[in-house]
Chains A and B, each alone.
Chain A
C-alpha cells in the first residue's frame, strides 16, 4: 500500500509495515489487526488448554491413576487452568473483541494508545510459550492455578517460578490493556457522543477495565512475594518460617474473584450487542444494565473471602462476605431479566449467534444459582474443594463466557472477513457443544455433593460411572470443535460474501465495509446516538446510506 502512495509532504512518514496476511504477524498498531491477533492467538491456546482438559478427563475415566502419573496430572491441571484463564478467556473477551469493537463504538479511528496496545498483545505469546515450555524443562507448576502456599513453596521450584513469571507478564499485558480501554472509552469518544449513548459492550469493558486496573496489581505484588518465598527463602506465606498462608489467600482472591467478572462482564456486554440485533428489538433496560454493571464492579471487589470460608475465617467475616456475595445476584438478575425482556416478543432469527447466546443465558443462570448456593457458609463448608465447585465454575466460564465467544465469532465473522459462516455447520457446532458441555459438567455437581474432591487423579470407585459420563461429554466437546474449525477455514475462503451489514445492524462497526478499511470508515465517522433503535416502522432507516451520520439525521 505504501508503494502506491504518491510522495506526500507528510511530517509523519508512513510506517513501513507489511500488508496482507503478513501484518497479523507484525507489530501492527491497527486496533482491528491487534484484536484479531488476540482472538486467533487465544484460540490456539484454547486448543492447548482443551487438549490438557482431554488428558484430565481421560485420566478420570477410571478410578485409578493409569493414564498419566500423579505428578503429571497435577502439572496438567495447573496448566489447563492457567492457560484457559490467562491465555484464552481473558485475552479474547477483553483484548480480542475489545480492541476490535471499542474504537468503532466510540467513533474513533483507533485506540487511545495504539503502541501500548501492540505491546500489550505481544507480551502474550512469549509468556504463553514460557508457561507451556515449563512442562518440558523440569516440569510445570503443580499447585493448581491458585498456587496456594505452602503447596506452591514445596513443589518443584523451577516450574512454579516460570508460572509466576508468565502470570506476571500476562497481568502486565492485562493492565496495559485496561488503561487503554479506560482512556479510549472515557476520553476518546467522538464529540457529541454521550456516555449513556454508548453500546453496552463499552460499559462492560469500562467496568472490566476498572477491575483490571484495581485488582491485577495486587496479584502481581502477591506473586512477587511468593517468588521471594521460593527463591530467597523468606517466610511471608510459609508457616514454617512464621509466615501466614491465609494472607496469600486473601491477596490472591482479591484479584481472582474480580477476575471472574473480568472474564464474564465482557461476555455480558457482547451478548447485549448480539441479542437486540437478532431479536430486532431495542436492548431492554439500558440504564439499569449500566448501573448493574457498575454495581457488579463495586460489589465484585468486596466479596473475595467467600472463597475462603474453610480457611479459618472469623464469623463476622463469613457473615459480611456471605451477604455481599448474595447481593451480587441482584444486579446479575437484573441483567438476566433484561435479556429475557429483550427477546420477549422479538422477531428472533434463530441463527448460530442467537442460539449460542440463548444457551449462554440458560447456562449462566444455572451457574449463577449454584454460585448463590456456594456463598452460603453451611453449604460451602460441605462442598468446598469438591467437584461441585468445578461444575459451578465451568458453568460460569464455559457455559457463560466461552458460549458468548462462539456467539460473537458467528456474529462478527462477517465483519472480520467479509464472508458469512455456514449456518448448518454452526448449528451442528452448537448442538455438539451444548450437549457435550452439559453432559460433562452437570454430573460434576452430583459428584461434588456426594463428596468427590477436586484436583485428584484417583477417586472412590463408586463415582466411576458418573465420571465416565462426564468424560463422554468432554469428548463431545472436543469433537464439536471440528465443525467449527472446518466452518471457519472454509468460510474464510469460500463463504457467501456478506456485504457490509448482513444483520441490518445499527451499531457503528456495521456502518462500514466488511472488512473495514484501515481508517474504519471512509469519510466521517457515524455519530450513532441510538445503537439499539430496532423495530421501528420498515423503511424509515435506509441502511444503504453511505454515512451513518445521514442515517441518523433522516430518522424522525
Chain B
C-alpha cells in the first residue's frame, strides 16, 4: 500500500503546498458560475414536474365533481408580494454597491419578511382549499408543485436571513466582495421566475 503515496521529497512540503493553495486565489471566482449551473439543474426538476402536470391535464380526466378552478384573491396577493420581493432585493444590492450597508440590510430584511409572508399566505391557502393531497390527480399535483416551490422559498428566506445577519459585521460584504448576497439574490430571482410559471400553469391555465 505504501507505494501509492506520492513522492515525499522535501520540496513537496510546507512552502510549496502553501504556494499551491495561494495559486487558487489567482483563478477567477467560479462560485456564481457553479450556482447558475446548479439552478439550471434545479429548473430541470421543475420542468419535469410541469411536463408531468401538463400531460396529466391533457390525458387524465378528473373524477366527476373534482375542481380545477382555484380561489384567486389570495394567490394574486401572494404573487404580487413575491414579485415585489425581487425588486426589494434588487434595491438591497443597489445599496450594497453604493456602500450603504445599513440601507442594504434594511432592504434585505424586508425581502426576507416578504418571503415569509408569501409562505404564510401559502399556508392559509392550503388550510382553506376544498381538497386534500390525495383527493384527485389535480389536487396531488397542486400540492406537490406548490409544496416543492414553497420549500425553495423557505430555503431562500433562510439564505437571506443568514446574509442579513452576516452583513452586520463591518467589512463582511463590500461593493467588490459580496458573494453571499449575490448568490442569495440570484437564487431569489430564480425562485420568483419559477413561481410566475407555476402560477400561470396552475391558476390561470
Contact = CB atoms under 8 A, between A and B. Distances in A.
Q: Do A and B bind each other?
A: yes
Interface of A: 1-2, 4-6, 8, 10, 12, 14, 19-21, 24, 36, 108-110, 112-113, 116, 175, 178-180, 182-183, 187-188, 213-218, 220-222, 224-225, 228, 232-236, 241-244, 247, 250-251, 254, 416-419, 492-493, 513, 515-519, 522
B176 interface: no
A173 to B, nearest CB: 13
Nearest to A228: B144
B2 interface: yes
B127 interface: no
B127 to A, nearest CB: 18
Q: Which one of B34, B44, B45, B46 has the greatest number of beta carbons of chain A within 10 Å?
A: B44
B51 to A, nearest CB: 7
B134 A233 contact: yes
Given A20-B5, A233-B134, A493-B3, A8 B18 contact: yes
A5 B55 contact: no
A17 to B, nearest CB: 11
15 contacts: A5-B17, A10-B18, A109-B24, A178-B41, A182-B37, A188-B30, A213-B44, A214-B44, A228-B140, A235-B137, A236-B137, A236-B141, A241-B137, A518-B12, A519-B17
Interface string B1-20: 11111111111111111111
A164 to B, nearest CB: 15
B57 to A, nearest CB: 11
B37 A179 contact: yes
A187 B3 contact: no
A250 B144 contact: no
A8 B20 CA distance: 14
Contacts of B44: 213-215, 217-218
A1 B55 contact: no
A206 B134 CA distance: 42
A4 to B, nearest CB: 5
B59 interface: yes
Interface of B: 1-24, 27-28, 30-31, 33-34, 37-38, 40-42, 44-49, 51-52, 55-56, 59-60, 62-63, 133-134, 136-137, 140-141, 144, 148
A515 B4 contact: yes
Contacts of A224: 144, 148
A120 B15 CA distance: 29
A-B pairs, 6 with minimum CB distance: A5-B14, A218-B48, A234-B140, A217-B45, A217-B44, A519-B20
Contacts of B14: 1-2, 4-6, 8, 14
A32 B125 CA distance: 52
Contacts of B40: 213-214
B1 A175 contact: no
Contact of B5 (A14, A19, A236, A519): A19
A216 B51 contact: no
A243 B137 contact: yes
A492 B41 contact: no
Given A109-B23, A179-B34, A232-B133, A517 B6 contact: yes
B30 A112 contact: yes
A5 B63 contact: no
Q: Which one of A36, A188, A236 has the greatest number of beta carbons of chain B within 10 Å?
A: A236
Contacts of B23: 109
A416 B6 CA distance: 9
A522 B17 contact: no
B45 A218 contact: yes
A113 B30 contact: yes
A21 B140 contact: no
Given A213-B40, A216-B41, A517-B9, 13 more contacts: A8-B15, A8-B18, A21-B5, A24-B4, A110-B24, A187-B28, A218-B44, A224-B144, A225-B52, A233-B134, A243-B56, A247-B55, A519-B12
A251 B44 CA distance: 11
A515 B134 contact: no
Contacts of B42: 217
Contacts of B136: 235, 242
A273 to B, nearest CB: 22
B39 to A, nearest CB: 10
A518 B60 contact: no
Contacts of A515: 4-7
A39 to B, nearest CB: 12
A114 to B, nearest CB: 9
Contacts of B37: 178-179, 182-183, 213
A5 B23 CA distance: 18
A21 B6 contact: no
A213 B41 contact: yes
A5 B7 contact: no
A234 B142 CA distance: 11
Q: Which one of B15, B48, B136, B144 has the greatest number of beta carbons of chain A within 10 Å?
A: B48
Contacts of B56: 236, 243-244, 247
Contacts of A492: 1, 3-4
A516 B52 CA distance: 49
A513 B3 CA distance: 13
Contacts of B62: 242
Nearest to A112: B30
Contact of A21 (B4, B10, B13): B4
A14 B18 contact: yes
Nearest to B1: A21
A293 to B, nearest CB: 19
Given A222-B48, A244-B55, A515-B6, A234 B34 contact: no
Contacts of A517: 6-7, 9, 12
A5 B1 contact: no
A435 B101 CA distance: 71
